[in-house]
Structure formats: structure tokens, C-alpha cells
């Protein structure tokens, strides 16, 4: 079995390919022989098959990007994301989840049987169970415009817009798993711990680095983008062909320590 990961010749779509985990994943996918269609608002440096400019908080921009993508695809990777702060709370949820959902829903009919979807959530979204009712109500709104209106009218959103956006990804992933299984399509997400990237650099302009260190895994450091990219890419491979509906904490044991009561549960993980 030479192509053990099964990407050679496959058509792959990836958002957020200009930096961080998305850029690292795009590089890996090219090396593995995939035909990579990269979506980002910024310039993509990886030697991908095609780059499509897209603003993930703008419905028309996403719709235009969808029209530029292949009629059939094998794997969709949702990597685009921004931190709050410094991004405004509404923009954060629009980019991190609402745009992600709109793109994913549009591309699902194009995903071949045996294909998959893998998204980047966060350990910051691991409190989703305790907020399931609110997240569910938001997801039930369905449409892009209705979601945006709900966000604009939510006075408490700024308290944890980033965490809420990642809770939505986790719940959306699990909600879709059964439906997509009937078509032979898998859907999963990963929840990274703090990772060195432009994203983290933006975040540390607003939050002290010492505060972020409280969420480091027991290995005592942030992850490198490629360490998260490897886990994400693995979920889309043939090796993970019976894994679906799963949120995988990629945190070198951080969530395990919290659940075992060995460190403070600062994220409300349940």
C-alpha cells in the first residue's frame, strides 16, 4: 500500500490556507499529491493547484468562491479563523462559523461518497455541552442573514465570541454526522491547544502571554502549526475511513488533565 494516506490525485478544498495551521495543512496536502484548491482573503504561498480569494464573513464572496471550485471534491478542510480580541465579536463568529457553515453546506452536494470534511475548532470551545441549548438555538436559525442578525442583537456576545464560534463548529459537526453517513461522507473536527501562528500573535496584542500560558498542555509549550495540520490531515485520510462525528482535542493531554482534576478547569470543559 504505497499511498497509505490516500490523497494522491484527490481534489481537496481548504480555507485559511494563507497562514498558520491552514498553510501548514496546504503544504502537506500538496506534498501528498492532492489537487489543492485554497481559499483565503490573504495571499497563499503554498504551491497549490488554484487560489480563490474569499471573505468568509461575506455571503456573496463565499458564493462566488463556490462557483470557482470543482464540480466534485473529495475532502473539505475548514481552517479559516480569527481571534476575538482583536477582531470584533460579530466578525469573529461570522468568519469562524457562519461562513464556514455556508461554504460547507454549499459544497456537501459535491463531495463524493467516501469523502470527508474536517474543521478546526478549539479547546476554547470545549464547554459546548454546558451551552448546548444556546448553540442549538443559533444553529437552528439556519440562514446566513438570520445568523448575522442574531449576532448583532446579542449583547452578551463579546464576552466569549471566539469560544462560542468554536462551540458552534463542534456541535455542527456532531449534528451532521448521521445525515452525512447515509451518503458515505465523514465529518470531524479538531480542538487545538494554543499554537504558534499569526493568529496567536494577533491574540497576544490583547491578552497577556502569561494568561495564554495557563492553557498550555503539560508538555509546557505551544504547538507548532504543522503539528495541528498533521492531525487535521490525518482525519481526512483513508486511514480514518470509519471515524465520523468526532471532536478530537489535539492538546497533548490538556483536556485529560482538566477532566482528571489535575488542573483548573478555566475553559469550563465538561
Q: For 21-60, what is each residue's pLDDT tens digit?
A: 999 999 999 999 999 999 999 999 999 999 999 999 999 9
CATH of the domain at 245: 3.40.50.720
Asked whether residue 270 is domain-assigned, the answer is no
Q: Which domain holds residue 118?
A: 11-259
Kindly report, residue by residue over 199-243, the tens digit of the pLDDT: 666 666 666 677 777 888 899 999 999 999 999 999 999 999 999
Strand segments (E) across the chain = 11-15, 35-40, 50-53, 73-78, 111-120, 186-192, 246-250
- For residue 238, the 8-state DSSP code is G
Asked whether residue 252 is domain-assigned, the answer is yes
Which one is predicted more confidently, 129 or 200? 129
Asked whether residue 267 is domain-assigned, the answer is no
Kindly report, residue by residue over 135-149, the tens digit of the pLDDT: 999 999 989 999 999
Phi/psi of residue 54, each to 5°? -155, 140
Contact 103, 66 (CB under 8 A): yes
d(CA 82, CA 188): 20
Phi/psi of residue 217, each to 5°? -70, 170
Kindly report, residue by residue over 50-67, the tens digit of the pLDDT: 999 999 999 999 999 999
d(CA 237, CA 149): 37
**What pLDDT was estimated at residue 2?**
74
**What pLDDT was estimated at residue 117?**
98
Asked whether residue 103 is domain-assigned, the answer is yes
Asked whether residue 146 is domain-assigned, the answer is yes
**What pLDDT was estimated at residue 199?**
65
Name the pLDDT band for 197 (thresholds 50, 70, 90).
confident
- For residue 195, the 8-state DSSP code is B
* Cα dihedral 132, 93, 77, 36 in deg (nearest 10): 170
Reply yes or no on whether the pLDDT at 123 is more than 70. Answer: yes
Grid cell 451518503 is found at 183
Question: Residue 13 is placed in which grid cell?
Answer: 478544498
Average pLDDT over residues 172-180: 98
Reply yes or no on whether the pLDDT at 127 is more than 80. Answer: yes
As a residue count, the chain comes to: 270
Share of the chain above pLDDT 90, in %: 84
d(CA 177, CA 186): 7
Asked whether residue 195 is domain-assigned, the answer is yes
Asked whether residue 200 is domain-assigned, the answer is yes
In the chain, how many domains are there? Answer: 1
d(CA 186, CA 122): 19
Kindly report, residue by residue over 68-116, the tens digit of the pLDDT: 999 999 999 999 999 998 899 999 999 999 999 999 999 999 999 999 9
pTM to 2 decimal places: 0.94
Asked whether residue 174 is domain-assigned, the answer is yes
Amino acid at each position: 500500500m504505497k499511498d497509505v494516506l490516500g490523497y494522491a490525485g484527490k481534489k481537496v478544498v481548504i480555507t485559511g490556507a494563507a497562514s498558520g495551521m491552514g498553510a501548514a495543512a496546504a503544504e502537506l496536502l500538496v506534498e501528498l499529491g492532492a489537487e489543492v484548491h485554497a481559499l483565503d482573503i490573504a495571499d497563499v504561498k503554498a504551491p497549490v493547484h488554484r487560489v480563490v480569494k474569499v471573505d468568509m464573513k461575506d455571503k456573496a464572496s463565499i458564493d462566488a468562491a463556490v462557483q470557482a471550485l470543482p464540480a466534485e471534491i473529495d475532502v473539505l478542510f475548514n481552517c479559516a479563523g480569527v481571534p476575538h480580541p482583536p477582531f470584533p465579536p460579530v466578525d469573529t463568529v461570522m468568519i469562524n462559523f457562519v461562513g464556514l457553515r455556508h461554504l460547507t453546506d454549499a459544497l456537501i452536494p459535491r463531495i463524493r461518497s467516501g469523502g470527508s470534511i474536517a474543521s478546526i475548532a478549539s479547546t476554547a470551545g470545549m464547554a459546548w455541552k454546558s451551552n448546548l441549548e444556546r448553540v442549538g438555538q443559533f444553529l437552528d436559525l439556519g440562514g446566513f442573514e438570520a445568523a448575522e442578525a442574531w449576532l448583532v442583537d446579542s449583547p452578551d456576545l463579546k464576552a466569549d465570541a471566539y469560544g462560542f464560534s468554536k462551540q458552534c463548529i463542534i456541535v455542527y459537526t456532531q449534528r451532521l454526522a448521521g445525515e452525512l453517513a447515509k451518503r458515505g461522507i465523514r465529518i470531524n473536527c479538531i480542538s487545538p491547544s494554543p499554537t504558534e501562528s499569526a493568529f496567536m500573535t494577533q491574540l497576544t496584542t490583547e491578552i497577556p502571554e502569561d494568561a495564554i500560558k495557563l492553557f498550555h498542555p503539560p508538555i509546557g509549550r505551544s504547538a507548532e502549526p504543522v503539528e495541528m495540520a498533521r492531525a487535521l490531515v490525518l482525519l481526512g485520510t483513508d486511514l480514518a475511513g470509519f471515524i465520523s462525528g468526532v471532536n478530537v482535542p489535539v492538546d497533548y493531554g490538556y483536556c485529560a488533565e482538566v477532566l482528571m482534576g489535575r488542573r483548573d478547569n478555566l475553559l469550563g470543559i465538561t
